[in-house]
Amino acid sequence: MAYGRLVAVRTIHVIGIGAGDPDQLTLQAVRALRGTDVFFVLDKGEVKSDLTRLRRDMLDTHLPEGGYRVVEARDPERDRRAGGTAYSPAVGDWRSARAGIYERLIAEELGEDETGAFLVWGDPALYDSTLGILEEVLARGTVTFAYDVVPGVSSVSALVARHRTGLNRVARPVQITTGRRLAEGFPEGVDDVVVMLDAHQTFRRYADQDIDIYWGAYIGTPDEILVSGPLAEAAPRIERLRAEARERKGWIMDTYLLRRNPRGD
Ligand SMILES: C[S@@+](CC[C@H](N)C(=O)[O-])C[C@H]1O[C@@H](n2cnc3c(N)ncnc32)[C@H](O)[C@@H]1O
User: Over the stretch 93-151, which tens digit does the pLDDT of each residue have?
Assistant: 888 899 999 999 999 999 999 999 999 999 999 999 999 999 999 999 999 999 999 99
Atom of ligand 1 nearest to the CA of 124: 6
Contacts of 173 (CB under 8 A, 6+ apart): 189, 190, 192
For a ligand 1 pocket test, name from 14, 150, 196 the mutation site with the most ligand atoms within 8 angstroms of its C-beta: 196
Distance 25 CA to ligand 1 centre (A): 15
3-state secondary structure of 126: coil
The pLDDT, as a whole number, for residue 86 is: 42
Nearest to 54 by CA among 122, 107, 143: 122
Which pTM was predicted? 0.90
Among residues 114, 199, 219, 218, which one has the least CA distance to residue 158? 219
Q: What is the pLDDT of residues 198-225, one digit of tens each?
A: 999 999 999 999 999 999 999 999 999 9
- For the four alpha carbons of 29, 30, 36 and 39, in that order, the dihedral sign comes to positive
